[in-house]
Structures are given as C-alpha cells and as structure tokens.
Amino acid sequence: MQPSAARHAFALTALLLAACAPVGNKSPAPAATKENSATMSDDAYLWLEDIHGEKPLAWVRAENERTAKAYAGTPQFETMRSRILEVLDSDAKIPFVAKIGERYYNYWKDKDHPRGLWRRTTLAEYRKEQPAWETVIDVDALGKAEGKSWVWHGAQCLKPEYRRCLVSLSPGGGDADVVREFDLHERRFVEGGFELPEAKTQVAWIDADRLYVATDFGPGSMTKSSYPRIVKEWRRGTPLAEAKLVYEGTEDDLAISAYRDLTPGHERDFVVRTIDFFTSETFLRGADGKLTKIDVPLDANVDAHREWLLVQPRTAWTTGGKTYPSGSLLAAKFDDFMAGRRDLAVLFAPSDTTSLSNYSWTRHHLILDVLDDVVSKLEVLTPPAGAGEWKRAPLGGAPALSTIEAGGVDADEGDAYFLTVSGFLDPTTLYYGTLGDGEAKPVKQAPSFFDASKNEVKQFFATSRDGTRVPYFVIAPKGLKPDGSHPTLLYGYGGFEVSLQPTYSGSVGRSWLERGGVYAIANIRGGGEYGPRWHQAALKSNRLRAYEDFAAVAQDLVTRGITSRAHLGAEGGSNGGLLVGNMLTLYPQLFGAIVCEVPLLDMQRYTKLSAGASWIAEYGDPDKPEEWAYIQKFSPYRNVEKAMDYPPVLFYTATSDDRVGPVQARKMAAKMTQQLGYRNVWFYENTEGGHGAAADNRQSAFMHALAYSFLWNHLTQASP
C-alpha cells in the first residue's frame, strides 16, 4: 500500500524518533551565545563526541569490559540471556504478514537467520499451523556474499503488477540506508536498475520508469535535521544528477518528500513539507507540476483515500463556521474540499477519557481504534453512498486491560482485515475476517513464554503535582503483600505523542515476572494516551510535568506498599532515556537503580549531536536564551552534581546510533565517574543496531539481559 499523506509525513519525522545529522568524527560547534560559550568551556568531555575516534573507542572498550565483567559474566546472566534469546528466536512466534499482490509477505528472524528472511506464502497456506514459505531475500546470505552487515529496512513494491520493488538495507542498522531495485518475480536485484547510495533517503514509485527521490544530492541539499531538503523526479536510465526538481525546502525545515497515491482510479501526487515534528504542509501536485496546498492547519494530519480526505487537527480548528476539537477525526470529499467546500463529518470526537489511537481503511469501511483510559476498543464506520451520515458499528471485544487492534488487508481489493488481541499476561492472538461476513476467526496464537497464572494486572491512577490524574498499569504476583519489599521495575516514555498500551512480552515475563518481580508502566503526559492534549501538556516549557507524573507514579507505588525506594527501579530509552536521566538528577530519592538506554542527556548540545535538531518542536531550542532558561531544568548532563545520593545507574547505547547518537550517554557516564567521583555508574556501548542498540536477536537478548541483571542485582540488594 502507498502511504497516506499523514502517515508519509509522520514516517519522515518518526524514523523512530526523527532525523540523523551526518556528523563526521566531530560534531559541529554550537552557536556562539554567551550561555553556550560559558558552558562549553566547562565541558571536559567534548572529546567523547568523536564517535569513531581512537581515544573515545578505547574508553568505550574499557567501560564495556568493566560492565560486562560485573554483570554479564555469571551463570545467572547467561541463563537469562539464553532464555530471552529463546523467546526472540522462537519458531512459534506469530509471523505477521502484509499482502503484496496475491501473496502474503513476512520478515522473519530466528537463530538460523539472525539478520532475517523476507519470505512469502499464500493465504491458504498461511492459515495452516505450519505454512510453507518461499524465501525472497535471505539477508544473512546477502550480507555474507557482499561482505556487508546488512540490516533490513523494508521494501516498497509498485502496484498493480507488484513486480518491481525498492528494497532498503542499512549497513550496521543505522537510519541511513541504501536503496536497490528488486524483481519480485525473479527474486533478484535488477541489474542496471534504480540504485541509491547510503543516505537518509525518502523514495517512492511514480510509475515503472520514474521515482520521487529525496536524498543527499550533495552540499546544501540536507536540512539541519539531516533529512533531505530537496525532492526530485528521477527517470530510469538517466543519471541522478539530471533528475528534475520537484520542490525545495529550507534548511530549517525538517524534511521534504513526495509520493504518488497509486490507488486505481484515484491516482494523485503529493509533496510533503515537514516543517518540524508536529507541523507540515501537504500539496497536491498537478500534471503540470503546479502545487496546490491542502488548506488545513499546519499541525493537522491529512490523509487522502479514494474520494475521501481525512483531517486530524492537533489543536481546535475553526472552519466553515464550526469549531472542531483537538484530536478529532474529520472527513470530507476530497474534490469538494479542494474546491473550497467545508462540509466536514465528525468521525471521532475525543472525551475526557478517550482518544483516537489509529485507523485503517478497507475497501468500503474505516476501522477506528479508540483508547478509553488507555484500553482499546474498535469501531467500524461506513461512508454514505451519497449524502447522509456515516454508519457506525462496534467491532469485536477485548478482555479487560488489553489491547485490540485491526487493520485492513488490502484497501483496493476488499474488506478483509487482520485483528490482534494482546495483554500483559495474554499472548497475542491473530484473527482474520471480512467486514460484513460474521466474526473474525483466529488464525495464529502466540505461545506462552512464561507462567502467567501467578500474576494479575491492575490499573491505578496517581495524582501528579498539579493535580492531574495519571494512569499506570501494574503486573504483579497475585495476593501481593503491601509491605514495600517487592523488586519493581517502572517503565515510561512520555513524549512525541506515543502511547504505551498493554502488550505481551515474553522477555519481561521470563526475566522479571517469573522471578517474583513487579512490572509497572506509567502513562505520563507527553505521550498520546489521551490524544494531542496529553502530549501538548508536557511540551517545551512544560516538560517538567512529564517528570512530575513519573515521580508521582513512583511515589504511588511506594504509598500502596507495592515497593520502596530500595526496591524500585526505572527504565527508559531514547526520550525515555531523558525521562529516567531526569529521575536520576531530579528525583534520586525515589529509586534504587536506573537503566538509561540510547538517551538524550545533554540538552544544551542535543541540537548539535546526530539528529537533535529534529526535536526542537518537542524540547525547545537551547540556542535561544529564553528557551534555554527552561531547557536547562531538564538537562541531566548539566544538572548532575557532586555528593548526591544517586542510585546505581547503567547507560546503554550503540556506536551506530545515528539518531540520538552514543555521545550523550558516553559523556554522562564519564562525567559522573571521572569528574564527580561516582563509582556505581556503568556504561555499555554496542557497535551495531542503530537507535535500537541491537542489529539482531542475539544482540537484543544481551542488551535486555544486561539491563534486567543490573536492576535485579541492585533492587534485591545483591552484589553484582
């Protein structure tokens, strides 16, 4: 399927968390403000920003050896790592598929294929307990043959023939990848076909002989966020240098891209100017190249599908004499809207407890995934044939405190859909059905990787500093005694409008729950659990609210007698790494240990490191004195001090992370150990894996086992 305008724009800003600056061995110097100049002169660890330099890597190797010796050298660690790897490599996992043409494709990793297989089967075969698969690309074999450490980044296939695909492969797992044309029928790369070198590329089919290409065209062609600033139309058989300019943005934009909606009978071309993480402009491109802006607010997502245009405003939008709330979903006939009519149907309007998590089209229907206090429910909407109202009907039910999701299989062909139901203690079940043809039937059931019968799930609400009600989930042993003695791991994220919902994890079950631990997930502000308003409540100058929420959940766990400071740990990655980094510096009295993964930490330098400029809309611009005044309050690297009662902390990152980058974790660990004299600070840096910090299941198993071993050892007051 071709991406919608909304999802295409989001993909540009959310390659997990956004852009990747093409740093060399050194990051560029910051803007010359008095604030930055004074602080930079005091930064003794700028040398660690030389990502591949000999001296920094020697420091990394020494720290890795120290940490591995302390936490990864025991039989208990090896047992945990092996059991996690069994989960990740299990042949019994559900092989989720996507329909391409008449076949169903799956990307699969196991112990024999650590980098993965791209494979396919038929629907009839897929329904079987043990489907017969045909391998299309063996990533391990390809890497071995070409001498590359390839990591799969997906494929785009040209409809309606679905013969030619654009395959993206990353050397080492970073966000930058190469793009190569592939023949799906012959299962081989096309000799002399479209090919693009390693870069942060956005590419899309126009037709069999033309592509939209946004990539690194040379000096000046990338934004400060290191996404492409220019998009061109490239014709087969011509040099990329001769590609025709389509649109050129500014260096302050986040990214520029273009794509064609190839839905039969509704082919349209779009150009997307992503201004920052939450604002964008989408243009309809005519056959003559003329661009016509879709007239919606900058912070609204738009999605063109067949004759319909869907709009999701992030803030209240007044148009046509009516005001539509933030977080709503609106529909209009595409051609009517472009002609100036503003007859909008409200498909979803949020309440105090509900938000729209997602939606998906089938040929004749629209499926809505709605969250109500972070628990999901589904609704099917049917557009009117002419004038009239959209019809509504519920779709399936889900167990309490679980997640239910549904997506159309092929919106061009029919109303088939896949549906999944999952919970913290309930392995995922996959259903297949057709709207209007009875209930969906189960086709796959994920295995149980741990004994969940001894546990139960509850949802609680903590009260934050400003009185806000903050939900959180607790997975704990049944009949838990409220004596504060239970090792408890609190996980959070709280940013970029990302929601944390009930999900089954065999790794957490085996590594934490089976040992009697308590696992908790905090749905703090900054996330999307209650729609845009929940996210916007913790933006920029209000960022501390997210940390106050997390601290309130931690305190509530203690107040309820579930745990105590000595037994309470925190874990988070990326923006969640910034979250737990601030728990370390702002709320050290609440935690007994912290694991901080692929984190942002130096918020004065973050816009100069890797992809940091992408996230100014989330955090603010530290080069502006009025914004640095509030940013510095949540900059752990700047706020860490001597002689504080900080809990033990493990920083985990990856050399190949070209999104957040490894240097912030490096600098924080070095400053705490070398400058401030803390001994219980630990650091580990994987070489591959990009922002995920792992390129294959074996590396993932090591990462998780290291984190859980560290936390368990400290929260049970055992020596490493």
Instruction: Give the CA distances from residue 673 to residues 153, 500, 641, 719, in Å, rounded to whole numbers and listed in that order.
Output: 37, 33, 11, 19
The burial of 233, by beta-carbon neighbours within 10 Å (0-12 exposed, 13-18 middle, 19 or more buried), is given as: middle
Q: Is residue 242 part of a domain?
A: no
- Catalytic positions are 574, 691
Query: Looking at residue 634, what is its pLDDT?
Result: 98
CA distance 25 to 570: 32
Query: Looking at residue 147, what is its pLDDT?
Result: 95
Q: Is residue 471 part of a domain?
A: yes
Query: Looking at residue 9, what is its pLDDT?
Result: 34
CA distance 333 to 307: 6
CA distance 258 to 240: 16
488 forms beta bridges with 518, 568
Residue 368: count other Cβ atoms within 10 Å of its Cβ. Answer: 20
Query: Looking at residue 610, what is its pLDDT?
Result: 82
Which domain covers residue 79, as residue numbers?
Answer: 50-85+449-715
The pLDDT tens digits for 169-189 are 999 888 899 999 999 999 999
Question: Whose CA is closest to 205, among 167, 238, 239, 249?
Answer: 167
Q: Could you tell me the sign of the dihedral formed by the alpha carbons of 522, 528, 532, 538, in that order?
A: positive
H or E segment at 584?
Answer: helix 575-586
Query: Looking at residue 689, what is its pLDDT?
Result: 66
Q: Domain count of the chain? A: 1
Structure-token pair, residue 257: 């891209």
Which DSSP state fits 122?
Answer: -
CA angle 467, 520, 586 (to 5 degrees): 55
Q: Is residue 162 part of a domain?
A: no
CA distance 563 to 142: 49
Query: Looking at residue 486, what is its pLDDT?
Result: 97
The pLDDT tens digits for 455-484 are 999 999 999 999 999 999 999 999 999 999
Q: Could you tell me the sign of the dihedral formed by the alpha carbons of 284, 285, 286, 289, in that order?
A: positive
CATH number at residue 699: 3.40.50.1820
Question: Whose CA is closest to 703, among 714, 712, 695, 694?
Answer: 694
Q: Is residue 520 part of a domain?
A: yes
Are the CB atoms for 45 and 27 separated by under 8 Å? no
Query: Looking at residue 687, what is its pLDDT?
Result: 81
pTM score of the predicted model:
0.90
Enumerate residue ranges in the chain where pLDDT < 50. 1-39, 718-720
Return phi, psi of residue 544, to 5°: -60, -20
Query: Looking at residue 657, what is its pLDDT?
Result: 82
Query: Looking at residue 31, what is its pLDDT?
Result: 32
Query: Looking at residue 388, what is its pLDDT?
Result: 85
Query: Looking at residue 694, what is its pLDDT?
Result: 64
Q: Is residue 369 part of a domain?
A: no
Q: Is residue 67 part of a domain?
A: yes
